[in-house]
Amino acid sequence: MDTTVITPDHSPPISRRAPDASHEAGTMAAYPMLLHIGLHKTGSTWLQNDIFASAGHGFTTATGGPRHGLVADFVTPDAFHYDAQTMRNAYCDHHRAAAEKGLTLVLSHERLSGYPSSGGHDRRLIADRLFATFPEARVLIVLREQRALIRSMYSQHITDGGTGSIARFLDTPEPALGRRPGFRLSFYEFDRTIAYYKSLFGPDHVLALPFERLLDSPGPFVTDIQAFCGMAGTDIGAVKRVNERRPLVMQLAQRPLNALFFHNELSPGALLHIPRFAKRYARTRRVFEAITPAWLEKSMQARLMQAIDRHVGDYYAESNRKTEQLTGISLARYGYPLPGR
């Protein structure tokens, strides 16, 4: 039997074939799949490795393939080639196997929320695909104060192959032409993403949590996710906090090297492509940490944040107010900009 799902805002309908196996609906109800869509730089790696891959915490990420396979399945297929029923069938056995063990299957990848350096141009398309494929699923979105998030994502942009300054990252050349997507402040208007996912999956099937709560109280943060999935909380034990921030001098040196040796989407046309350049360059981190004076790192950090503050201003204040209303989270407590603050 064919059914049709009408997406909000007068989007074209997404057609999917209803599952034939009656037990699948019961499995979904008892052990709903969790879709963790990110965002980037909000503790995703820790969640994926220490929580979602742990049967002791009630979760599993076992899908018979590497995590980046989620990108190949849900992000990169051509818009006219994606078939929701085929993809649902591909994950049905993995979901059933997790349920038989009393576990919640988690599909977790930051790219499911879009990619910041390209302005998240495909994030709504991905949301529609996820809903058309797993309409019974629950969705986890992790937020972070926008200015800190931009600072962290800019560093990731360089790690991934970017070559430009923070000014170039924030201001896409010739934005009116739109030939190639670039970073947009609107990507981090969290209320729009949350509201859209709620309109698709239902208000009670979308959970948004602030990254800052993970830093302050990792145990309760995980318990919130477990309760959202219908399970009792578990003790996550001691959490080892590792500072993954690279020295800014290291990132400054990588920019021209990317242009010379790292041929990828963010630095096309490198003069000489060195395979696995990003991973090779990452090995120099301890050297840069040893040779970079603390005063220089502090000065560069201050200038970077000043550039971000000047560009952002109070852009996110109203969006954050709406996000508070949608989630019930006191963002002011964590330093998010709000109207009148």
pLDDT tens digits in sequence order for the chain, 341 residues long: 333 333 333 333 333 333 444 456 555 656 789 999 999 999 999 999 999 999 999 999 999 999 999 999 999 999 999 999 999 999 999 999 999 999 999 999 999 999 999 999 999 999 999 999 999 999 999 999 999 999 999 999 999 999 999 999 999 877 777 778 889 999 999 999 999 999 999 999 999 999 999 999 999 999 999 999 998 877 787 777 655 789 999 999 999 999 999 999 898 888 899 999 999 999 999 999 999 999 999 999 999 999 999 999 999 999 999 999 999 999 999 999 999 87
Structural domain includes residue 301: no
Give residue 15's pLDDT. 32
Q: For residues 208 and 194, is the Cβ–Cβ distance under 8 A?
A: yes
Range of the domain at 98: 2-145+181-241+315-334
Give residue 97's pLDDT. 95
Give residue 21's pLDDT. 46
Structural domain includes residue 255: no
Structural domain includes residue 306: no
Structural domain includes residue 104: yes
Q: For residues 13 and 7, is the Cβ–Cβ distance under 8 A?
A: yes
Closest CA to 42 of 205, 212, 184: 212
Structural domain includes residue 97: yes
Structural domain includes residue 235: yes
Give residue 62's pLDDT. 96
The domain that holds 19 is classified in CATH as: 3.40.50.300
CB atoms within 10 A of CB 68: 11
Give residue 177's pLDDT. 77
Structural domain includes residue 231: yes
The CA distances from residue 106 to 109, 136, 137, 234, 253, in Å, are: 10, 13, 10, 17, 37
Q: Token pair of 63, please?
A: 């899908």
Give me the number of domains the chain comprises. Answer: 1
- pTM score, two decimals? 0.89
Give residue 12's pLDDT. 34
Give residue 28's pLDDT. 62
Structural domain includes residue 125: yes
